[in-house]
Structure 1
């Protein structure tokens, strides 16, 4: 089945039923529905004068009515990084020492630690703008003042510093003899090189003041308006367009960006205007000086021509930039394929290049015939330039189009490599740059039509406040600028594949979809396919296979002919027989195994749109961190549902994997194993994603209480949203196993899980004990979701079991935590146990998102969220900063740990979404507005296009550019649920009081999945192997 494009942009949108009822009540009472002023936050007339607007309209170069705006002469303030209090430092000093030691050891190996607070870099500033490029092929940020920085062209690498030579410039010559020239940027003019670089970029004209220039951002587009600078009688608009097109899985993957210029001459004389695009052969940092780079001109069809810049990267992966413009009858394009910034001069200097432009407004036509330049020497820096010249008659306008693309087919990790998604359409030979440039220039107008069609319904919705509409789209920057990688989905390719094949000729794989249901067929199931051997997945040797086979004959095996939903009534042997135990104890296996990747869960008739990775944060280097994706995933599900399903398949496969690799967990200094069968991983890894899971090593996340419930909830939500029953069936074994794994955390057998007195959830410095509001609520929601999903896959016994557990667990939860106003943080006895947690209704929120029955009655749900609003929101700077995570009942901030006193941006959006679902519309928008005021407003902290995970009451940030703020799309999901959710079959209430239903299969698997004592961890690997096979057989659901 191929991704559907028909419903990409629905014509009609419907509010959720609870919201419609609440709005009707508010309207009847004469209330302002969304509690916002009509005055826009970023009024267009305050940034661009009417003369300029009139001159540009109705051209597409005119800035939109709704956008985030900034003057180019605005100073980019330094951002304040968070600091620990004395007590926090004292409590975390041992952790800090272990983190420092681990980070140092990783650096010695030439690798990065996933979390390294000691990593040095440039001091962050409030200068970001809309990033360039589509999704998953690398990105470059262009700051609102014109600088190109934050180069993310290699996996997990972000080069923050701006590259001075990457600029647009303008040269104007009028018939009356007046001349003007300037770089079209203000962000670089203050740099020290301007004073001492007489032959490089310091020799250029930096005449732009920026006082009358403005920047307008509405992701994935941005407009920069140069109103009378440098020529008082010239209005210039630069429109930046990247191919971020919802439900489009081709163009959205392209590493390309177009800059469309509109030039308006308001003077009485004709003007010869030349626009210059210069680019350094650099991927950021000091890479331009590494040597071995070269450039050459190129000419394509349809007038597209420019320069190719071949860059030799440190790890050998090829990368080629192309800068280009389109020649038309009224636009002439010339090129300077190579000039030198610094070092040995084998070509013209940047000063000579600039002088030639000032004198002629173009380069020599013969430059198109130049051969590739000699490779640059180490210490030298070269660049290329493309100039487009046009005559603009008096009181007329002209258009010039440029493109920037980069072609880097390989996605090279520390171990192995894959290929970018766009190589499916452009090949992997590294020669696609000029084709990408051509297609971008010739196709960008279609991109814009699709973008406008997608955004218009929201932008034209008068019920929504401007700040919400603008921020809703601008927070999507993270899907491009969050280190995203979109591969072709064909799996990683190892070096020396023949050698890998020889080494693994006796290995086994679990790639096959046809896992036999009879234990006698185990050996056949373990035969490795040629494809799997090539890819080199983690496998078993023959000795391990034999031991696992002995094991498999004595454990957890239902009758092969029985339906997965049926309990076997026969007398089963104990979970592990005496014979199998003796075999296991003889084994000293270090077995690791996995289901390869999530793409193996696709049916033959389902299109493989690739695999998608994005970092938890630009500073937190872990791919697709799952406890955070729980919040962020609404953006992908709303706009690119096939990628969201791909991520869930990857985590389903990862849940059914096991790795005995030893890892030190830094919080306590203890040693454990990397990945436990049945535990949903924290992330998909860093150095070898999909294979080496759980790069996070502060805690042992196999003991976390939120990851497994979050997996179950997301799977069910995604099934309801897409209606893909094939997806539900494919991932059901992982869901079933994830639920069984959680059974071990119900220590008193009352059906409710308990936390273990350490930070065993996404708030990973905030300890929690016993039944807790956050994890307990997620568990209740997961029980409902698992029961509903079991019905979908016809596993009736499992459905009945989960429903009965829900009924019992809910009583425990409410009895232990409800205090009449809200649910206590946990059932502990210390003071923090009565803390008011902003995120306490996360479980209820998720049940609402996918049409499940509410966990709590309306009074409790609304009362708890109203308490959060009154305490966590309004008592935090009068609601102008977002919701603080923890607030004491006396109105003081919970400062029991670092995270309890923080405001989490993504959590605030999620709390607002929960409020919308419960009809608290006014409170929801007031809550979310605090994040926008603090992070995005012109008088806020300056976190635009780098929204951090958290800030404190004083505005100090932690972890810039973070995944979780994408949760603003959960608000939109609550306001306008998809048609599939609104029209999904009603799930019956699970409130009825019924005795606990015992499910023998579930109990057996849950028993074996209990965390094995350290002393037995290795000897139990064969047992886990056979359990894995048993679970995989549950895929054969008819």
Structure 2
């Protein structure tokens, strides 16, 4: 039996896929206007807010989120690993390790790795964020493993921001004769590509009513790019840069670097300048012959229309039974992210130097967080290489230490452990911004897009569930997000605009209303909020409640000690609850829904007192009272304002709580609302009760009603829905809202009949709170199965349908799976131990 030296290096719960094996029926997008890049997505590399790169189970690099907030999904064939192997009798094999050859005629001289098929197993791709592994089998005589990762480490606010990909190759010779191997990394110089060539992008309203804008990267524009070979003690590599006259780098300007280690046991070869649009023979011919390169140095800048790439190769001989490790580092330094053109002067964190009112046509720009540690001139890629080669082992140990108690937890199912880590991909992949720190914002500003179809930051309703991960793992970033909302609530913006849902006109942001989001990449995030215009979010009945609950969530989950944070948010809490109370038209203590989709289910009409929004209102009052009590207890002398505010909220709560129960409870579940007459069982109807339990607040409904409701939801929205909609296949998950018998109230409805991944994970957490362990794990595992067996991995959507379609990929809410771990017994202990 052949020795398998790599199995212990890959956690048993990691997601796995045979290399290059396609999907028979991958889920496809529900609406043609939504993004659907296909199933070839793999784990991203790169620090939070540093830009990231995706590499798929086929082996190609194909996702380029280098420009903050922007999405490019294209394969660059020249960005590639290749392996040469030769036996003692002179026979050799050489492959570029993507199973997908270029389709444009480039690199025609290269040989491409065979994909797994029915007749040949060629290897396995495994992923457990922030690590992934390519295990090559059945092609070479040697056994090869490429592990790749970035230093994503909880409660770490430095290395977690680094723009680095670390590749650790392990080669093992299982034969009885020596093998000569050479591993080559080639990379195209793309400096200058990742910025919008359209300086004033036009905003239009898509067919689903949401705003989108034009984005055209400078793809392929490599004029003045050049490559330089560097030998620095034992560190060797190629630095990719560009001629520039700008003292302060502009967006897209900076460097790439690829590097490895030279030592007496290996030979290092290089070729600094070759044409990636050619046949590629300049590098392939010597490499495929004996694993070498020409050691050619050429720093000539690219002429207009020319593109260039570089290559490094490491050759070594393995004796029988021996194993060798070879590291490669990929670093990039693009320090500036620019946004829309504006005249607004701002001192928001990390912003580029300003001389006062910005002239028309000058973009707002921010430095990325990693520049606090490597400088801001865009010339620090090699410094990052040195840092990575020195500390990568320590970083990997820190990742293993973080994961160990979770991976060793016998009470948490293996598929959920896999998804728990892999769903964190979005913190790097989700158009993430993380700015440099300032005196006002020492940790910087942070933001993740709702998704790539709804491209605005930190949608507050979505992160009610999606924010579970950030709160537990990087709480200082969670605090930065909530402070940004607190600052935004008092602000107003009277800019008129058309609402996509009904073509009504509304102002962008009413003062005291809680904004839906923190802005978009084509404007000025954090300064211009409420970007979405599909609905008039000034009228939403959940956003103010969501804000209060998330403020208190941060406070409780970080040890109930940050009273300064509560004080900073206090004014916004008072304002937003007062504003929300104005929608209590009849003075009964509960704001009414208007009969329009005025909450997170923004295609679903609620009217009167609703179970969803009314419950969040009650929970928010509980949280606000608790916050007020915390502040009052901390003061040396009682504050009349605090006392009066607490008394007012207590009066509202006393009035509203029995009314909610009396109006909506029907003996089996809470009615959707008080005026529509709908009999639908809404899956998320008791989100408010879930939050009171999550934050140790008094319940808003009786315990027996909570239990009965969850049992009804499980029976109707999960068991019966799946039996009627998907009788011959695996369970889909929980539908948002169906009749008690599992049938649709309206077969043509959108949101009620969708399975929302994040809502499902949140509901599973709620059931686990209630001791419904089997039901909780059945729901969560059904959703994980949908994502990871139908080509949705590392692009998790908001919604899945029974027809095998999805909507809104790369979605924020799915990180709610961290709420499921939080409420488990061991998860609670883990969280408490990491405060």
TM-score tier (shorter) = 0.7 to 0.9
1:374 to 301, 318, 337: 301
Q: How does 1:117-136 map to 2 (within 5 A)?
A: 118=33, 124-136=37-49
Residues 494-515 of structure 1 show CA distances to partners (whole Å, capped at 9, x for unaligned) of xxxxxxxxxxxxxxxxxxxxxx
Using the alignment, how far apart are the partners of 1:982 and 1:289 within structure 2? Answer: 49
Asked if 1:967 is matched to 2:812, the reply is: no
How far 1:143 moved relative to its partner?
0.5
1:479 to 427, 442, 447: 427
Using the alignment, how far apart are the partners of 1:154 and 1:192 within structure 2? Answer: 26
Using the alignment, how far apart are the partners of 2:592 and 2:426 within structure 1? Answer: 34
1:664 to 484, 490, 498: 498
How far 1:137 moved relative to its partner?
0.7
Using the alignment, how far apart are the partners of 1:243 and 1:357 within structure 2? Answer: 31
Asked if 1:222 is matched to 2:67, the reply is: no
How far 1:243 moved relative to its partner?
1.1
| Contact residue 295 and residue 384 of structure 1 kept, 8 A | no
SS at 2:340 equivalent: coil
SS at 1:279 equivalent: strand
Largest Rg, 1 or 2? 1
Partner of 2:606: 768
How far 1:411 moved relative to its partner?
1.1
2:649 to 777, 798, 802: 802
| Contact residue 300 and residue 434 of structure 1 kept, 8 A | no
How far 1:810 moved relative to its partner?
1.0
Using the alignment, how far apart are the partners of 1:393 and 1:799 within structure 2? Answer: 75
Asked if 1:265 is matched to 2:173, the reply is: yes
Q: How does 1:519-530 map to 2 (within 5 A)?
A: none
SS at 1:900 equivalent: helix
Using the alignment, how far apart are the partners of 1:371 and 1:339 within structure 2? Answer: 9
Using the alignment, how far apart are the partners of 1:301 and 1:644 within structure 2? Answer: 40
Partner of 1:633: 467
Partner of 2:22: 75
1:238 to 134, 146, 149: 146
How far 1:57 moved relative to its partner?
6.1
1:690 to 517, 526, 532: 526
1:362 to 283, 287, 292: 292
How far 1:364 moved relative to its partner?
3.7
Asked if 1:892 is matched to 2:728, the reply is: no
Q: 1:444 to 1:651 in 2, by over 3 A?
A: same
How far 1:261 moved relative to its partner?
0.3
Partner of 1:250: 158
Partner of 1:712: 548
Q: 1:246 to 1:301 in 2, by over 3 A?
A: farther
How far 1:672 moved relative to its partner?
2.0
Residues 263-302 of structure 1 show CA distances to partners (whole Å, capped at 9, x for unaligned) of 0011222122110111122358974522314232343645
SS at 2:734 equivalent: coil
Partner of 2:210: none
How far 1:79 moved relative to its partner?
4.2
Using the alignment, how far apart are the partners of 2:817 and 2:395 within structure 1? Answer: 24
SS at 1:159 equivalent: coil
Asked if 1:862 is matched to 2:792, the reply is: no
Q: 1:394 to 1:768 in 2, by over 3 A?
A: same
| Contact residue 230 and residue 239 of structure 2 kept, 8 A | no
1:950 to 772, 777, 799: 799
Asked if 1:787 is matched to 2:625, the reply is: yes
How far 1:360 moved relative to its partner?
3.6
| Contact residue 294 and residue 372 of structure 1 kept, 8 A | no
Structure in which a larger fraction of residues adopt helix: 1
Using the alignment, how far apart are the partners of 2:532 and 2:817 within structure 1? Answer: 25
2:539 to 703, 710, 727: 703
How far 1:764 moved relative to its partner?
0.6
Partner of 1:905: 757
Using the alignment, how far apart are the partners of 1:471 and 1:145 within structure 2? Answer: 21
> Where do 5+ consecutive residues of structure 1 fail to align?
1-49, 85-116, 344-348, 491-598, 603-607, 984-1038
2:223 to 292, 296, 304: 292
Using the alignment, how far apart are the partners of 1:801 and 1:209 within structure 2? Answer: 67
| Contact residue 139 and residue 255 of structure 1 kept, 8 A | yes
> Where do 5+ consecutive residues of structure 2 fail to align?
195-215, 342-363, 633-641, 724-729
Partner of 2:778: 926
Using the alignment, how far apart are the partners of 1:258 and 1:426 within structure 2? Answer: 18
| Contact residue 83 and residue 94 of structure 2 kept, 8 A | yes
Residues 736-786 of structure 1 show CA distances to partners (whole Å, capped at 9, x for unaligned) of 111111110111101111001100001111111010011001000001000
Asked if 1:617 is matched to 2:451, the reply is: yes
Using the alignment, how far apart are the partners of 1:82 and 1:185 within structure 2? Answer: 26
Using the alignment, how far apart are the partners of 1:980 and 1:777 within structure 2? Answer: 29
Using the alignment, how far apart are the partners of 2:110 and 2:301 within structure 1? Answer: 25
Asked if 1:385 is matched to 2:311, the reply is: yes
SS at 1:202 equivalent: coil
How far 1:670 moved relative to its partner?
2.0
| Contact residue 107 and residue 277 of structure 2 kept, 8 A | no
Partner of 1:538: none
SS at 1:876 equivalent: helix
TM-score (norm 1): 0.71
| Contact residue 721 and residue 980 of structure 1 kept, 8 A | no
Q: Provide the aligned C-alpha RMSD in A.
A: 2.2
Q: 1:147 to 1:776 in 2, by over 3 A?
A: same
SS at 1:626 equivalent: coil
Residues 210-248 of structure 1 show CA distances to partners (whole Å, capped at 9, x for unaligned) of 32300111110011111132x2x2100000111110001
Partner of 1:408: 334
1:202 to 74, 87, 108: 108
How far 1:421 moved relative to its partner?
0.2
How far 1:202 moved relative to its partner?
2.0
Asked if 1:819 is matched to 2:666, the reply is: yes
Aligned residues: 759
Asked if 1:323 is matched to 2:258, the reply is: yes
How far 1:483 moved relative to its partner?
1.1
Q: 1:262 to 1:823 in 2, by over 3 A?
A: same
Using the alignment, how far apart are the partners of 1:694 and 1:664 within structure 2? Answer: 13
| Contact residue 906 and residue 964 of structure 1 kept, 8 A | yes
Using the alignment, how far apart are the partners of 1:953 and 1:52 within structure 2? Answer: 44
Using the alignment, how far apart are the partners of 1:78 and 1:148 within structure 2? Answer: 23
Using the alignment, how far apart are the partners of 2:243 and 2:490 within structure 1? Answer: 40
Partner of 1:463: 411
| Contact residue 82 and residue 952 of structure 1 kept, 8 A | no
Using the alignment, how far apart are the partners of 2:706 and 2:552 within structure 1? Answer: 22
| Contact residue 300 and residue 438 of structure 1 kept, 8 A | no
| Contact residue 268 and residue 315 of structure 2 kept, 8 A | yes
